[in-house]
Structure 1
Amino acid sequence: MTSRVDVVEKPSNDKKSKTEALRQTLKVQLDYDQLTNCMRCGFCLPACPTFKITGMEAESPRGRISLMKAAVDGLMEPGIAFEDQMNHCLGCRACEPACPADVKYGQLIEQAKDAIEKHTTQHRTWVKGLRYMMLKKVVPNQKRMQLVGRGLQLYKKSGLQKFVQKTGAAAVLSAHMKDMEMVIPDGSGKGVVEQLGTFIPAKGIAEKVATVAMFRGCMMDTMFYETNRKTIALLSEAGFDIVIPETQRCCGAMQAHSGEVDVAKAQARDNIKAFRNSGADFIVSNAGGCGALLVEYDILLKDEPEYQADATWFAKRVLDVSTLLMKHGRKLTYHYNTSGETTTLPIVTYQDSCHLRNVMKGGEAPRQLLKQVSGIQLVEMKAASSCCGSAGTYNLTQPEMANQILEHKMCDVNETMANRIITSNPGCQLQMQLGVNKHGNNNEIIVEHIIDFLYDCLQRVERVE
């Protein structure tokens, strides 16, 4: 019986020079202490979504760290296979809470991806152009994001979307992009600053609880504007004055996870300047993916001593909106009203935002808030903390793996018999809606951000419309 061997293509001189350049960059950028901290114990394996799907060692955090170290030590050429394994990682960071050695895997994978983007030859010309346009020109610029939001608004409200779907014009897209087109959110050409101003006072005659500076986000403010508006309304009801620094930018998470760390750092510096003089006791985020980077601005800028004091000030004040409401706000009353339609309580289940749970350590606050809502059954799904496959842009760049993860996730959802899926991150919300469309046992399942759900359940409140 012959054993399996991997056939490795002999690299050309040009490929050798590129892989050697990548190796040298990895050697400079990767934190070698973290590479050696990994004890190869394997506690990360059952926490890793890609390992659970494939069962391959290289598809695990331990395996990827081994590959990084081997590349840095000159034991292997960091070629296309190396790049692919790094890019297969969702960056969910579920391995970090499971790690007894406290290995900072999230930092390692971002350092590796940043090095890869400096040298990769895999991107086609149009992909390079699209990455440059979106990650460096559009997403960091709020005005340009508002144009995107206005375009989405026009696409959906003009009837163009229905026409595209009815005529089959969407068939020119890939199967996955066609699926994603079905869950495009409603856009808005104006965000909270343009529609509500930069200061919203706490409601009621009681003394305010605290002043909160709101991180409005790029996608949240243009594609999920209503969630931002309802966030402000709930915070005001809970006793907070809300300030919205007008010069803030995208958090930088999308860029950091895509290997554009320098762009992320520039946005972090701008955001710190925008929030530093806000007078805020807290900085609030309503998107788990954004919050996870905001709370690590001090780590992101650790090599810039001139920003360390302000970055630490910023990071220490960042909280997810659920945590802020649960721990610091006035107690609000929530009730789900079925309007007499049925005597059976609706079933609600919660899907974790990986970054909220694993990085911000905020997985319990959303559940505690949902438990305060009368008139529902809260049913915990199996493996609710496991990634849904969204992971920022992962479901666009790695659709095959993302779909496999999503299909497994929807099996767990279907077991709960839920009428509603609640989450705390816009990417998760879209991904779970895609899951309902493709794999749900009930296509009438509603997928909502927790803020939208709580706002609609809020009792005795004068709505801010």
Structure 2
Amino acid sequence: MTSKTEQALIQKAFQERMDEDELMNCMRCGFCLPSCPTYIESGRQEAQSPRGRIALMKAVVDGLIEPDEEVERALNLCLGCRACEPVCPSGVRYGHLLEEARDIIAQHKKMPLPVRLIRKLVFAGLFPHQERMRKATALLGWYQRSGLRTFVRKIGLLRLLPASFRQMERVLPDVPTAKEMKERPHRLGPDGTVKKRVAFFAGCLMDTMFMATNDATLRLLQLAGCEVIIPPSQGCCGALHGHGGEKAMAKELAKRNIAAFEQLDVDYIVTNAGGCGAFLLEYGHLLKNDPQWCERAAAFAAKIKDISEVLVELGFDQRPLRVAPQTVTYQDSCHLRNVMKTVSAPRRLLRAIEGIEFREMKDADRCCGSAGIYNLVEPEMSMQILDYKMEMAKQTNATTIVTANPGCLLQMKLGIERVGWTGKVRAVHIVDLLLEAVEGAQAAKEEERIRKTS
């Protein structure tokens, strides 16, 4: 329950910090409504739409309503997918408004003690510290490899956890060992002539839980002719903090990453996670009011580029790529599409692979319901959205669902588990499939050579 004192502080902060010009840019035309998953899944409730949420923010600023639980609930139920932004004729930057509003509420409302402890553990104690991320992932690896996972599942101990956590446990990837996570490269040369000199943003979860995908990304960059620099002082991008009401910590993480990369003489800073890439791209906005960092942040953001765009630019889709025959569909990462504007490059790469029949999924640009940790904190709405997504995937008859973000990947695996497709349909990150296609083409070439010489 938000106290009257807290409401007064929140309202004052709204009036001081919310961008009123941006709020006024909303013309209430409703073009955003068909693109908003929570508006659709809530039975078309206005308060669960971008237009409705902007109206609530504006009403708080104007003193027409109090920032009570209903306002907070409407803001928290938003996925933050930003599908409303590309369709907005006024160009309202809804995502910026949402992040500011959430931060104001989080910083002025006293949350229950368990919530405060969990937030402190996750936002301050874990994600900003890569060594702790490695240790936590190594602990998960021990759970997976020691036989404890099998035992825990067998005796039903997981039933003590919320359903959303039980489901997520089943789809987590098998993670690397502590030794493997420590032995990370800092520089890799290209295969052949240097075409581009790039830096790679390794991320926190991507370089621990999804390290195999990072390794595949680095190998693809080498094959494409890139010299790759991986600065060891980089860390978490801060997206979870920025989206979750911890902007001060997000700014500190941004500064650390800018400092890690800004002295490198590179053409691009390459990312392979849509959520991370989009937040990195907006460091300029995040630090716009900091005179010591605003220009440095803008220069950093100007170099951010998704791996798929880099590969297409370097003609990777022209090289031999081959996999076993399969039907493939692609689920857009919301932030990769709506913020980074990367739409055609992943599809172009997939269509270039021999053996793939590519089928576009209806509403591939609609959020899958992952949205960072949304599927854990808002499981009911998340699963509604996921169930619709799996119905659309079913219509393609795909045997492989491809995406370009770790959260989306886990959500697709969760969807496959929910509808009983395990063993029949797989979900993969696009770079893992591309490396599989490179190796498939190489194997086919070797088989042909042996056949001709035998």
Question: Is the TM value for this pair above 0.5?
Answer: yes
CA distance in 2, matches of 1:263, 1:242: 28
- Do the aligned residues in 1 keep the contact of 2:224 with 2:311 (CA within 8 Å)? yes
- Do the aligned residues in 2 keep the contact of 1:146 with 1:188 (CA within 8 Å)? no
CA distance in 1, matches of 2:199, 2:180: 13
Residue 37 of structure 2 corresponds to residue 57 of structure 1: no
- Do the aligned residues in 2 keep the contact of 1:152 with 1:187 (CA within 8 Å)? yes
Matches within 5 A, 1:314-329: 314-328=300-314
- Do the aligned residues in 1 keep the contact of 2:317 with 2:348 (CA within 8 Å)? no
CA distance in 1, matches of 2:286, 2:318: 36
Name the structure 1 match of 2:5: 17
Of the three residues 42, 49, 69, the one matched with 2:30 is: 42
1:115-139, Cα deviation, whole Å (9 max, x unpaired): 1101234x43122101111111210
Of the three residues 397, 400, 412, the one matched with 2:380 is: 400
Counterpart amino acid of residue 67 in structure 1: L
Local SS of the residue matching 2:236: coil
- Do the aligned residues in 1 keep the contact of 2:137 with 2:175 (CA within 8 Å)? yes
Residue 112 of structure 2 corresponds to residue 124 of structure 1: yes
Local SS of the residue matching 2:289: coil
Of the three residues 416, 422, 431, the one matched with 1:436 is: 416
Deviation at 1:187, TM superposition (A): 2.3
Residue 349 of structure 2 corresponds to residue 364 of structure 1: no
Name the structure 2 match of 1:238: 224
Deviation at 1:335, TM superposition (A): 3.5
Name the structure 1 match of 2:447: none
Name the structure 2 match of 1:110: 99
Counterpart amino acid of residue 114 in structure 1: D
1:218-262, Cα deviation, whole Å (9 max, x unpaired): 000000000000100000000000000110010000100101001
Deviation at 1:461, TM superposition (A): 5.6
CA distance in 1, matches of 2:178, 2:284: 31
CA distance in 2, matches of 1:382, 1:49: 14
Name the structure 1 match of 2:371: 391
Name the structure 2 match of 1:229: 215
Matches within 5 A, 1:250-261: 250-261=236-247
1:179-199, Cα deviation, whole Å (9 max, x unpaired): 111112222355988434210
- Do the aligned residues in 2 keep the contact of 1:239 with 1:330 (CA within 8 Å)? no
Matches within 5 A, 1:365-380: 365-380=345-360
CA distance in 1, matches of 2:290, 2:59: 29
Local SS of the residue matching 1:212: strand
CA distance in 1, matches of 2:438, 2:186: 24
Of the three residues 163, 167, 176, the one matched with 1:179 is: 167
CA distance in 1, matches of 2:142, 2:228: 30
Deviation at 1:397, TM superposition (A): 0.9
Name the structure 2 match of 1:99: 88
CA distance in 1, matches of 2:15, 2:176: 44
Which stretch shows the higher mean deviation, 453-462 or 53-62?
453-462
Which stretch shows the higher mean deviation, 435-444 or 139-148?
435-444
CA distance in 2, matches of 1:337, 1:70: 55
CA shift in 2, pair 1:290/1:448, >3 Å: same
Of the three residues 288, 304, 317, the one matched with 2:290 is: 304
Residue 122 of structure 2 corresponds to residue 134 of structure 1: yes
TM-score of the superposition, structure 2-length normalised? 0.94
Structure 2: tracts of 5 or more residues without a match: 444-454
Matches within 5 A, 1:269-348: 269-328=255-314, 330=316, 333-338=319-324, 345-348=325-328
- Do the aligned residues in 2 keep the contact of 1:394 with 1:402 (CA within 8 Å)? yes
Matches within 5 A, 1:192-207: 194-204=182-192, 207=193
Counterpart amino acid of residue 107 in structure 2: K
- Do the aligned residues in 2 keep the contact of 1:213 with 1:243 (CA within 8 Å)? yes
Counterpart amino acid of residue 378 in structure 1: F
Counterpart amino acid of residue 175 in structure 1: A
Of the three residues 330, 336, 345, the one matched with 1:350 is: 330
CA distance in 2, matches of 1:232, 1:332: 19
Deviation at 1:332, TM superposition (A): 5.3
CA distance in 1, matches of 2:137, 2:164: 22
- Do the aligned residues in 2 keep the contact of 1:164 with 1:170 (CA within 8 Å)? yes
CA shift in 2, pair 1:191/1:410, >3 Å: farther
Local SS of the residue matching 2:390: helix
Local SS of the residue matching 1:220: coil
- Do the aligned residues in 1 keep the contact of 2:323 with 2:436 (CA within 8 Å)? no
- CA RMSD, 1 decimal: 1.7
Local SS of the residue matching 2:376: helix
| Identity value in percent | 45
Counterpart amino acid of residue 417 in structure 1: N
- Report how many aligned residue pairs link the two structures: 441
1:393-421, Cα deviation, whole Å (9 max, x unpaired): 11111111101100111110111111010
CA shift in 2, pair 1:409/1:302, >3 Å: same
Local SS of the residue matching 1:325: helix
